[in-house]
A and B are shown apart, each in its own frame.
Chain A
Amino acid sequence: MLLIGENLNVMSKKLGDAFLVRDQGPVRKMAEAEAMAGMDMIDVNIGPARKAGPEFMEWIVKTIQEVTDIPLSLDTTNMEAMEAGLKVCKKKALVNSISARPERMAGLMPFAKKYNASFIGLTLGAEGIPRDANERGLFAAEIIAEAAEYGILEEDIWLDPIVLPVNSQQMQVQGCTEFVMMLADLAPNCKSTCGLSNVSNGMPGHLRGIMNRTYLIMIKRYGMYSAIVDAFDSELKAIAKNQRPELEALVHRVMDGESIAPALLSGEEGEYVKTAKVLLGQTLYSDSWLEI
């Protein structure tokens, strides 16, 4: 599974400040650290970048490319900034992201074509977050059809099922998982990705890792091609790179409906079983799910 590091992010206080004063130091450091951590791509999240967006995106892409040649995923809602970034990317870039909203598709697909970039097709329409797997499918179909109009190859479309936080939308997580299961039939030539960490959004910080990793195992089983992840979760990386087959097998057993008593397992294995049950909707979520 291909991994995209999420940590170069305007939401980070330290980086946000560095962004503001165009301090290259922290940006380089983070890019280097993500490269060291073995990320296959780096997501460059500059947010809405309302002020000086294009100039800023160009600066940050150049700064990163001074220290690493890892391909970049450009993450901004500012379309002009997106183009400015694409212009200076040395490797094939990933546009993060284009939803099924008409203005997003019309605004960004021409750039993807012009600069030979891939793009993340966010299964989200004008009415907002999809309610189930079928709505996701509809948005995906719209995106694929529209991209064809621009002559974009299907292999350059990375469909994103929209991962939702399990602590507040436990049932909706099933819709996301179901959609991932459908992807191979629905869009066999497209790639896929997702914002994995969103599954644990809003949860206590020390518990996010196990939730992210367990969900990664689940969607990996159904063929998820890549994920945008915490670059510094080395265990998560090990799972993505097929180095934890025993953990994957264990979670698969839970997914297949086998009843496994966590008490009979080692601490770590027990945690994976409990977490999988939460993600499958078998145990109602609470922050203390690992303790009961």
Chain B
Amino acid sequence: MRRVLAALLCLGLLQVHGYDPEHLKQLLEEKECIGCDLRGADLRGIDFSGCDLSKSDFSGANVSRSIFVMADLNDANLSDANATESVFWKGTMQRADLTRIHAQGASFKGTYLEGSNLSFADLRGTKSWKANFSSALLKKTDFSDAELGDAKFIHNDLRSSKLTKSLLWKTYFSNVNMTKAQCAHAKKEEAIFDVNVTCR
């Protein structure tokens, strides 16, 4: 059995890290990779600003402290990725799968996250000023200590999410479901409640 595995490894038929080495090479050399397989890749501290990474699979990858300023991550998969202290400033992450992403201390300032799946995401202490979370799935998303000033929440269910000590100055809520405690916190923080904000 050991011989069979060794032979498969030599032939490149088994990839230990999961990602496609050619895609990783393309990404690092060309800083562009659409629909690439980068699962589990070690991409720490790399500058991907302005890159088109749409539809790429970064699930389980380590992108901590990497920079994605104005990068296109639409329809990308960053589930289970380590994005601690990464910068997604003014990027687009629409419809991205961000389930269980570890993004503590990351910057999502002005980032478009419409329709993304942020269920079980760790967004503690993120700087998410003016981010757009419209229609994002926010099941048990942890926004504790996050700065969400001027961010938009339209068509969201926030009831299972944590908003403890989050900054909600001028944060815009419309057509959202929130708990009574979340509503009280948001009002105290001077958030803007537009139509159909349900507090229960």
| B and A form one assembly | no
- Point out residues on A near B: beta carbons under 8 Å: none
